[in-house]
């Protein structure tokens, strides 16, 4: 499979104001892509759009939206769609015993991690199919590879992203549209500041640039999914080698809140 050419392609990136999403924006702008960058931080996005436009001679537009709100993904579709490439990166996690975490917060977690991702993909895909070319990168997580005690909703939501993306890969691989589920492990971003639980980070944190480079490498090779980082790929084999309850016990010990 040939390398994907981003020159003059319009790329929509959610969660583009920081972390992995911001690095996707910077990397693809350098490759000649025009950007639709979506996040809640309007001032940050405006500054980033102006900087990338100046440095790379591309068009960059800020789309301000909170994907946890009903209808936000549909509004984003109306404002910035359809793109040639969609990167569903926005997401967040909660940590703790399921019954102790505010239900509305967990419902918002499902909305951002699953519902908004599904709606944006549903909006973008027909355009890609009509032109016979396109790409979708859905950011899942190594948390998708097994159930995650104390991060039950996050792990389940990312398992949805992985399964959904691989199914779309199979449906569309002969129709010109590439679909990749990216599974990063711990990454050096503000993700863990939001979670506010250092025990949620398993293993050494990767640099966001390394995660993005691996994602684009995997997309060029037509992969349906990719676990970023060699140590994470080794850990990904554990659920295949050990009994499920054994894996659950290991993960429970890793993620258990320190105060518990």
> Which pLDDT tens digit goes with each residue over 19-61?
999 999 999 999 999 999 999 988 999 999 999 999 999 999 9
**Residue 151 resides in a domain:** yes
3-class SS of residue 13? strand
Distance CA 110, CA 115 (A): 7
pTM of the model: 0.93
**Residue 82 resides in a domain:** yes
**Residue 1 resides in a domain:** no
Question: What total of structural domains would you count in the chain?
Answer: 1
The model's confidence at residue 197, banded by pLDDT at 50, 70 and 90, is low
Q: Quickly count: other Cβ atoms within 10 Å of residue 257's Cβ.
A: 13
Distance CA 128, CA 86 (A): 10
Per-residue model confidence (pLDDT) at position 200 = 58
Residue (of 141, 162, 33) closest to 91 by Cα position? 141
Distance CA 42, CA 45 (A): 5
| CATH number, position 89 | 3.40.50.720
Name the active-site residue from 154, 169, 191, 192. 154
Q: What are φ and ψ of residue 183, in 5° steps? A: -120, 85
**Residue 260 resides in a domain:** no
Residue (of 127, 71, 65) closest to 90 by Cα position? 65
**Residue 232 resides in a domain:** yes
Per-residue model confidence (pLDDT) at position 201 = 58
**Residue 4 resides in a domain:** no
Q: Quickly count: other Cβ atoms within 10 Å of residue 153's Cβ.
A: 20
> Which pLDDT tens digit goes with each residue over 64-102?
999 999 888 888 777 766 899 999 999 999 999 999 999
**Residue 126 resides in a domain:** yes
Domain that holds residue 84: 10-255
Q: Please give the structure tokens belonging to residue 245.
A: 């309850």
Catalytic-residue membership of 150: no
**Residue 5 resides in a domain:** no
């Amino acid at each position: 499979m040939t390398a994907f050419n981003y020159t003059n392609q319009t790329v929509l990136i959610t969660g583009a104001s920081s972390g992995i999403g911001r690095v996707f924006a910077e990397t693809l702008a350098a490759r000649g892509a025009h950007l639709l960058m979506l996040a809640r931080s309007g001032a940050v996005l405006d500054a980033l759009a102006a900087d990338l436009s100046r440095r790379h001679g591309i068009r960059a537009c800020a789309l301000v939206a909170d994907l946890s709100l009903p209808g936000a993904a549909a509004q984003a579709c109306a404002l910035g769609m359809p793109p040639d490439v969609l990167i569903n990166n926005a997401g967040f996690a909660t940590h703790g015993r399921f019954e102790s975490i505010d239900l509305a917060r967990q419902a918002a977690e499902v909305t951002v991690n699953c519902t908004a991702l599904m709606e944006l993909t549903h909006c973008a895909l027909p355009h890609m199919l009509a032109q016979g070319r396109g790409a979708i990168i859905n950011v899942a997580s190594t948390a998708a590879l097994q159930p995650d005690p104390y991060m039950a909703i996050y792990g389940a939501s990312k398992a949805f992203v992985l399964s959904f993306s691989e199914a779309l890969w199979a449906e569309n691989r002969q129709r010109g549209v590439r679909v990749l589920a990216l599974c990063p492990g711990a990454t050096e971003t503000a993700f863990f500041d939001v979670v506010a639980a250092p025990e949620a980070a398993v293993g050494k944190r990767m640099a966001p640039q390394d995660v993005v480079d691996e994602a684009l490498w995997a997309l060029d090779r037509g992969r349906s999914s990719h676990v970023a980082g060699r140590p994470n790929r080794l850990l990904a084999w554990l659920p295949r080698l050990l009994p499920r309850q054994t894996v659950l016990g290991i993960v429970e010990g890793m993620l258990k809140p320190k105060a518990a």
